[in-house]
Amino acid sequence: MACASFTKLNAASSQWIGQQPFTQRRGSSTTRRVSVSIRAKAYTDELVQTAGLVPLPGSNNESWCQGLDGLASRSAEYYKQGARFAKWRTVVSIPSGPSALAVKEAAWGLARYAAISQDNGLVPIVEPEILLDGDHPIERTLEVAEKVWSEVFYYLAQNNVLFEGILLKPSMVTPGAEHKEKASPQTIAKYTLTMLKRRVPPAVPGIMFLSGGQSEAEATLNLNAMNQSPNPWHVSFSYARALQNSVLKTWQGRPESIEAAQKALLVRAKANSLAQLGKYSAEGENEEAKKGMFVKGYTY
């Protein structure tokens, strides 16, 4: 949905929506006006800092994330423009290995970005996305996730990043999207929380999960299952497709559908807000929300 449409959401939206991301391409006056309007409605600006994924030489056809050059000056400027959070997304592919080189490159890049962001007053959102691609079991995802987050926190510490001043945006621990057996929300919650408790210090204040191609309903149910027991961190969501899919299908670029799309957004936002409290019920969930959104080799 066009960013300008977010500014028309009614006052109830601030109950469920607290953050709006922007890319680095924000030079227009329209974008600046939207930013000011969002801050006035108690949302918080989040800036996507990466310059994109490119092939990683010497790896198993894997990628690394560029964008560290000039990051300090960009961060300082974006802070002046009102940004208070930054996001750096890199990816790890299980079918490709992952190679030790790819994991180390992902972890080091995230750590340097986090240190630079904190030095310029921004809260870094740390996101090494472990892609859903593959037919591996959930145990293999757990193994890779533990390795990735071990490396990430090792290099965060090496770069003197303040753990209390970061947020994490991890993938949930699930089987590969092409695995023959699907896991229940309770199983996904068990494996995901096991990984987090083994690798993430309790000093980290918040875990904001990505959806990664799960259906809207799956992402909400899995989050809800993780909040059925106490956790040392706030466990919440930072979804893209799992928050926007129904909205975009409702809107379809039609001005006359904006109000209906806003209502669809609030339905999903409220559902996930309840899930972060462990109080979500799937009763009455529509069929569209149950449709998976996995796309093999998906990029954005």
Q: Per residue in 131-148, pLDDT tens?
A: 988 999 999 999 999 999
Handedness of CA 225, 223, 110, 203 (dihedral sign): negative
pLDDT in tens, 163-189: 999 999 999 999 998 999 999 999 999
pLDDT in tens, 59-107: 777 887 888 989 999 999 989 988 899 999 899 999 878 999 999 999 9
- The structural domains of the chain, ordered by start, are 3-278 (3.20.20.70)
pTM for the structure as a whole: 0.85
Q: Give me 286's structure tokens.
A: 């529509």
- Residue corresponding to tokens 């299908």: 249
DSSP state of 283: T
127 is catalytic: yes
Which of the following is catalytic: 62, 127, 216, 218? 127
The H helix count followed by the E strand count for the chain is: 9, 9
pLDDT of residue 31: 40
Share of residues in the chain with pLDDT > 70 (%): 80
- Residue (of 195, 174, 98, 179) closest to 135 by Cα position: 179
- Backbone φ and ψ for 128, nearest 5 degrees, come out as -95, 100
d(CA 269, CA 263): 10
d(CA 260, CA 247): 8
User: Parallel, antiparallel, or unpaired: how do β-strands 63-65 and 53-55 relate?
Assistant: antiparallel
190 is catalytic: no
How far from each other are the two terminal CA atoms of the chain, in whole angstroms? 16
Asked whether residue 53 carries a pLDDT value surpassing 90, the answer given is no
Which of the following is catalytic: 105, 151, 169, 218? 169
d(CA 202, CA 217): 28
Question: At 55, which helix (H) or strand (E)?
Answer: strand 53-55
Instruction: Assign 287 a pLDDT band (cuts: 50, 70, 90).
Output: confident
- Residue (of 196, 121, 203, 109) closest to 163 by Cα position: 203
* CA distances to 8, 16, 231, 267, 288 from 263, in Å: 11, 12, 31, 6, 15
- Residue corresponding to tokens 């108690």: 42
Are residues 177 and 294 in contact, defined by beta-carbon separation less than 8 angstroms? yes
Instruction: Assign 161 a pLDDT band (cuts: 50, 70, 90).
Output: very high
- Which DSSP string corresponds to 72-115? HHHHHHHHHHT--EEEEEEEE-STT---HHHHHHHHHHHHHHHH
SS3 22: strand
Instruction: Assign 36 a pLDDT band (cuts: 50, 70, 90).
Output: very low
Asked whether residue 13 carries a pLDDT value surpassing 70, the answer given is no
